[in-house]
């Protein structure tokens, strides 16, 4: 199994919307990936309640590296990456096997 963890640092204002609105949209878009990409076995998206550098995190579980690769190249995921590039300052990605 592989866990794919992504932390998001949002812009305060992007696409004519405040950070909170973009966070909600990001969460909805990411959660929809579980519906449209069968390789995603589990998915959680949450907002940082402690403060700090990052505003949100997504945690996804895949059976194997090939499934993570399929997810990474899926057109639905690629479309979200474009949105992320427009509303985020930075993101950190950690993939680990367990």
Domain holding 35, by residue range, is 2-97
With a CB cutoff of 8 Å and minimum separation 6, the contacts of 94 are 3, 4, 5, 6
Domain count, the chain: 1
In this prediction, residue 56 carries a pLDDT of: 98
Cα 89 → chain centroid: 14
Please compute the mean of the pLDDT values over residues 47-51 and round it to a whole number: 94
In this prediction, residue 23 carries a pLDDT of: 97
| pLDDT, tens digit, 9 for 90 and up, residues 62-76 | 999 999 999 999 999
Question: In angstroms, rounded to a whole number, what is the distance separating the alpha carbons of residues 67 and 41?
Answer: 10
pTM: 0.94
In this prediction, residue 98 carries a pLDDT of: 96
The CATH number assigned to the domain holding 38 equals: 3.30.70.100
| pLDDT, tens digit, 9 for 90 and up, residues 2-23 | 999 999 999 999 999 999 999 9
């Amino acid at each position: 199994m592989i866990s794919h963890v992504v932390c998001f640092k949002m812009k305060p204002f992007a696409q004519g919307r405040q950070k909170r609105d973009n966070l909600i949209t990001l969460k909805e878009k990411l959660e929809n990936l579980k519906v449209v990409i069968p390789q995603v076995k589990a998915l959680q998206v949450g907002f940082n309640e402690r403060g700090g550098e990052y505003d949100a995190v997504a945690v996804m579980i895949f059976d194997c590296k090939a499934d993570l690769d399929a997810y990474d190249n899926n057109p639905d995921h690629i479309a979200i990456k474009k949105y992320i590039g427009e509303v985020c300052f930075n993101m950190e990605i950690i993939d680990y096997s367990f």
